[in-house]
Structure 1
Amino acid sequence: MAEKKAALNEDLENVITLKALVDMGNNKVIFVESDGDFIDVIFSFLTMPMGRIVRLACKSSVPVEIGCMRNLYQSTVKFNKNKFRSMECILMLLLPCNAADCQCKNLKLKIDNDPTQYLLCANDCFLSYYTRIRCPSCGCLFSRGTDLPVDDTQVGGVFVKGQPRLIITDDLQVISPALNLLMHSFASKTPLTEILLKNEQIPSLGDVHSSQGISIHSQMHGDTIDEEEKNISLKLVVSKSKKIVCYAEAQEDFVNLLFSFLTLPLGFILEKMQNVSWKGCLGQLYKSVEDFDEQYLKSNFHKELLVNPMLAPGFRYEKTLLGIEETSFYYVGRKLTTDKSCIPDNTPAESVKLNVVDPKSHEDRDESAQGFLKGPATFTVTDNLVVRPLSLILEMSVLQELKVPFTDIEDHIVHVGKREALLLLVASFVGDSALTNTFIRGLREPKQEQ
C-alpha cells in the first residue's frame, strides 16, 4: 500500500492543475486559469529545436505533419552515415541541443525526456556534448559530466516570476499530456478545447499559404540583400504547364542549409513568420510572450530566451544566411549557465566562458569544410524536401507521380541568399511545396509605403 501511495505522489509531481471556463452548449473552452508552472511549460515550446519537436511528433499518439520538417528529419535518418562529416552530425540534427536547457530542466512538467549531456575534459579546457571526442587542447577524452545549475535565479519559476494566477485563452493569446497541446497547436486555433473536451484528431496542417503568399518579418523593415550573399545555387526541374518544382539537384551546401532547419528553435521560426496566415495558433503564443507584462517575467534575459532564442554553442551552420546566433556557456561555481547575471561582480565574462568543441569537424581534416555533410556531393531534393543522394530513380518516380512528361519540364538555375533562405524556412514549416512556394509562386511581401 505504501508503494502505491509513493507512486501516486510521484505522479502528482508531474501534473499541473487547471481551472477551465467551459461553454457547455458549444462544448468549447473559453479560457483556463493556471499558475506559473503551466505558463512556463507552454512558453518553453518556443525554445525547443525543430529536430526535437519532429521527433516528439513521430512518437506522439496524435502525430502531426509540420510542413516538410518530417521529411527533412526522415531524410537524415535514412542517409548513409558515411555522407556525414562525423557521427555526431547525425545526433545534432535528430536530437539538437536546446540553448535554454539550463532553464527548461527545471520545468515541473517535461515533455522532452532526452536530456543533453554536458562534458568537460579533465583539465576544464573545452566542453563537449559527446563522449568519444578528444579535447583539441589537451587531448583528453570527454568523460566527466557537469551539473546544470539550479541556483537562486531558478527559484520561483523558470520564465515566469513566482506563482501568478494567469488566464490563457483557447487560442493560446495541461494539462496532461502537454505534448498533445504542442502537437494540436501546430494545426488548430482551439487546442485547449480539442484536448480537454473533444479529444479530436489533429487536422492536417496542409499547404495553407500557397494562394496568399508569405511575408517575412525581417524583410518588412527594408532589409537589402547583398548579391554576394547568394553563393548557394541549385538546379530546379520545373513543370512548364503546372508551374511547380518537380525536384531540384543541389550541392551539399544547399542540403546543409535545409538540414540546419532541424537545429532551429521554434521561437526563431515564429519570429520570421508573424504575418503568415496558417492553421495553428503558435503565432498567438509568440505574440503573447512579446506583449507579456514584464512584471510577470523573471528578467529580460528570460524573455529574450523566448522571443529571440539562439542556438546552443557549436550548432550554427557556418553559412549564416538565416541570421541566427549561438549563445555562450559560462562555468560559474562548478556549474554551467548561459545567464551572465550568474557571473560574480568584477569577474570578466571571458574568463569563465567555456569553449565548445565543434562536433561537426572533429573527424574531418579538411579545414575548409562546413556544415554536416561531406563534399563535394550532389543530391536530389523533392518539392516537399525529401533529400537523397543524386538519384535518377527518385527523379523519374517523382515525374511519374506528378504525371509530368519529359517534354513538359525545363531547368532553371536559382541562387539562394538571405531572403530566399528565410522564405524557404517559412515555406518548409507551413506547407508541403517548399521549393515551389519559394522559387516559383513568388511568395509576396506587402508593398512598402512610399
Structure 2
Amino acid sequence: MAAAEEVKFSLKVVMIKGRNKVLYAEIDSDFADVILSFLTFPLGTIARLFIKHYGNTPILGSLNSLYAGLFNLDGSHFGTEAGRLMLLNPRNASQFLCSTLKLQIDDTPPIKFFACRTHKCVSVYYKMRCLCPDSTINEIWIDDFFQYLFRSGNGSVFTAKTTTFVLTDDLEMLINSPASIFQILRRNFIEDANTLEEKTLIVGLKEIMELLKASLVSKTPLTDMVLPTRTMAATLDGRTKYIAPAKYESDALPRTRTQTSQNMSSNSKKINVKAFVQKSSSRVLLAQSRHDFIDFLFSMLTIPLGRVQFLLGENTCGGSIHNLYRSISNSETANYMKATTRLLEPLLPQGYLSLNRIFSLKEELPPSHYKGILGPLPIPAKSWIDPKGKGSFVKEARTLFVVTDDLVVSTPSSISIISTLNQMKIPISDVEERELGIGMEEASSILQASLTSTYALTNGLKPFLKRQPKQEK
C-alpha cells in the first residue's frame, strides 16, 4: 500500500463566485470512506495527530493539554506500562476495517496478538507477562480478525463502491442526485446557476488533516480545506467563538443522550472531587482528586468520536462533525452504506473499559480463535490478560493529583500553585473550596466542555457548583 503522503484524490468542487465559499464537492466512495472513518478515531488519536501536525497549539478544546499532561505524568502512577501506552496510542476498534482505506491518517501501529508458550494466556501487548511457569511471549495469528479483513477486502469500507456523493460545506453527505443538488441550491438561495463555478482539485494527506481539524472547529470545513488563505482566519475565529470564551455565562446542562435510562452506566457511584473556585468569577482554578477521577479523565481519550456524538447528541463540538454523523442515518443515504453501527455507535477495543468509567461504553468481543498449524484453535475467554493490570489505567494508591482548568494533570506542587495564583493575580481571600460528586451529568458536561473550551472544568462544572453548599471554614 502506498504511503499516506503519496495518496491523492481528485475532487470536483462547486463554488459561489466572488464569495470565497464552497457550495459542495463531488466525492467518490474512497474519499467518503476516509472522512467517515473520522468517527472511528478515539479522541486521544485525534489529539496526538493534531500535536504531530500542528504542534501544541490548542485546536480542540482542552484535549491537547489533557494529552500533554498524560504524556508528562510519571509512569509510576499507572498500573502497567501497557496501560499508559493504551492511553497515549488508543487503538481503533475498527482498525482492521480501516486498514483497507485508500488513505490512512491514523498511524497507530497495527494490533498484534501474543500468547505464552502454552497459549493459556493471551495479550495484545508484548510486555505483558502471565503467571504461567513458562511466560515466554510469542506472536500468534488471530483467525477471526484476518478472516474478517479478507472478507471485507472488496474495495470499499463504509460505502457502496460505485456510489458517488455530494458533500456540503458543513459536511452533510448526500447521494449525488438531481434531488440533492436542487436541495443544496434552494437551501443556499441560489437562483442563477451562472453565479457558480467548478474547480477540480488534487487533495492529499495535508488537506485531509485540514478537513479533520476544520470539521471539529468550523461551520465551513470544506471551504477551509479548499481555500488555504482562509484556513488560519477561520480556525482562529472558530477558537475565539467555541474554544476560549472570555466569560463563563452558560449555566445550562448539555443536552445529552446519556441522561436517558437506557444509556446510563452500570457504575452509578459518584467520584469525589475538591474544586478550588475563584469566588468573584466562579472560575474553577484547579481541582484536587484521587486516582479514580484522573482515570476517568484519561479514559475520555479512548472514546471514539462517533461514540462521543452518540453520548452527547448534536453540537458536540463547535464544528460540523455532527452533520456528517447525522447523514449516516439519513434514510436515502443509509441505503448506500454499510457497517454503520461502527460509525454511529463505535465500540472500544477489547480491554479498554476501566472500572472507573461513568459513561455507558461497550467493548468489542475478543477473538475466539487463533490460527494453529492444524487449523483454528479456540481461545478461552479467561485466557485474556487485562493489559491495564487491575481494571483501571491509573494505579489505586494514596496519591493526590491536581487538575488545571484546561485538564492538565499533575501531582501537587506548592510552588506551582502559589506561582499560578501570583500570575493570575488572584488573592487568597477570593478562593473557596467546593466538594463535588462527579456522576453521569457532570461527566457529560466535562466531556462536552473539553471539546469546546480551554476552560473545561469551569464550563463543565459551573452548572453544578450552584447546587452544592459552600464549604464552611
The normalised TM-score by structure 1 is 0.83
1:422 is aligned, of 419, 426, 444, to: 444
1:396 match: 418
SS of residue matched to 2:69: helix
Question: 1:198 is matched by which residue type in structure 2?
Answer: P
Conserved in 2, the CA contact under 8 Å of 1:37 and 1:107? yes
Q: Tell me if the contact between 1:380 and 1:395 (Cα under 8 Å) persists in the aligned partners.
A: no
Q: Deviations over 1:54-111 (max 9, x none)?
A: 1100011486521111111111111112122211122111101111112111111011
SS in structure 2 of the partner of residue 305 of structure 1: helix
Question: What is the rounded CA distance, in whole Å, between the counterparts of 1:22 and 1:380 in structure 2?
Answer: 49
Which residue number corresponds to residue 322 of structure 1?
Answer: 359
Cα drift, residue 124 of structure 1: 4.3
Residue identity matched to 1:306? L
- CA distance in 2 between partners of 1:155 and 1:360 (Å): 36
Partners of 2:461 and 2:87 lie apart in 1 by: 25
Is 1:110 the counterpart of 2:99? The answer is no
Unaligned runs of at least 5 residues, structure 2:
173-201, 467-473
Instruction: Check conservation: 2:41, 2:304, Cα contact below 8 A.
Output: yes
1:249 matched to 2:282? The reply is: no
CA contact (8 A) 1:21 1:32 kept: yes
Distance in structure 1 (CA, Å) of the matches to 2:44 and 2:14 = 35
Equivalent in the alignment of 2:152: 153
Give the RMSD, CA atoms, in angstroms: 3.1
Q: Distance in 2 between matches of 1:291 and 1:326?
A: 26
Show the counterpart of 2:178: none
1:24-68 C-alpha deviation (Å, 9 max, x unpaired): 321221111111111111111011111111110001148652111
Residue by residue over 1:244-278, the C-alpha shift from the partner in whole angstroms, topping out at 9 and shown as x without a partner, is 11111111111111111111111111223324375
1:120-131 matches, within 5 Å, as 120-121=114-115, 122-131=117-126
Q: For 1:434 and 1:61, locate their aligned partners in 2 and report how far apart those are by CA, in whole Å.
A: 21
Match of 1:142 in 2: 137
Question: Which of 64, 81, 85 pairs up with 2:79?
Answer: 85
Partners in 2 of 1:75 and 1:12 — Cα distance?
A: 30
Gaps of 5+ in 1: 1-6, 336-346, 362-366, 445-450
Q: Tell me how many residue pairs correspond in the alignment.
A: 416
- Alpha carbons of structure 1 residues 31 and 227: separation in structure 2 relative to 1, 3 Å: closer
1:360 aligns with 2:388: yes
Alignment partners' CA distance in 1, 2:364 and 2:133: 24
Find the residue that maps to 1:330 and give its secondary structure.
coil
Contact kept, 8 Å, 1:253 with 1:371, in 2: the verdict is: no
1:186 pairs with 206, 210, 216, which one?
A: 216
- Provide the C-alpha distance between the structure 1 equivalents of 2:256 and 2:81, rounded to a whole number of angstroms: 35
Note closer, same or farther for the CA distance 1:224–1:32 as it changes in structure 2 (3 Å cut): closer
Mapped contact 1:13–1:108 kept (Cα < 8 A): no
Q: Which moved more, 1:120-129 or 1:315-324?
A: 120-129
**Which residue number in structure 1 is paired with residue 335 of structure 2?**
295
Amino acid at match of 1:83: H
For residue 98 of structure 1, what is the aligned residue in structure 2? 92
Q: CA deviation at 1:279?
A: 2.8
Q: 1:216: how far off?
A: 3.1
Q: 1:227 to 1:439 in 2, by over 3 A?
A: farther
SS of residue in 1 equivalent to 2:273: strand
* Paired-residue identity, %: 29
Shift in CA distance, 332/129, structure 1 to aligned 2, threshold 3 Å: closer
Give 2:249's aligned residue.
211
Q: Distance in 2 between matches of 1:354 and 1:100?
A: 23
Contact 1:225 1:419 in 2 (8 A): no
Instruction: Give the counterpart of 2:402 among 372, 380, 392.
Output: 380
Aligned-partner residue type, residue 232 of structure 1: I
Do the aligned partners of residues 404 and 230 (structure 1) sit closer, same or farther apart at CA in structure 2, a change above 3 Å counting? Answer: farther
1:157-179 C-alpha deviation (Å, 9 max, x unpaired): 11112220111111111831212
CA gap of 1:442–1:414, structure 2 versus 1, over 3 A, is: closer
Q: Is the 8 A contact 1:328 1:354 kept in 2?
A: no
Q: Say which SS state the counterpart of residue 312 (structure 1) adopts.
A: coil
**What's the CA shift string for 1:126-177, capped at 9, x where partnerless?**
4422212224567533331536523223313111122201111111118312
Report the secondary structure of 1:410's partner residue: strand
Query: Residue 176 of structure 1 corresponds to which residue in structure 2?
Result: 204
- In 1, distance between residues paired with 2:52 and 2:351? 27
SS class of match (2:156): coil
Partner of 2:36: 43
1:305 counterpart residue number: 342
Contact 2:244 2:455 in 1 (8 A): yes
Higher mean displacement: 94-103 or 80-89 = 80-89
Counterpart residue type for residue 31 of structure 1: Y
Matched, 1:413 2:435: yes
Q: 1:281 aligns with which of 314, 317, 320?
A: 320
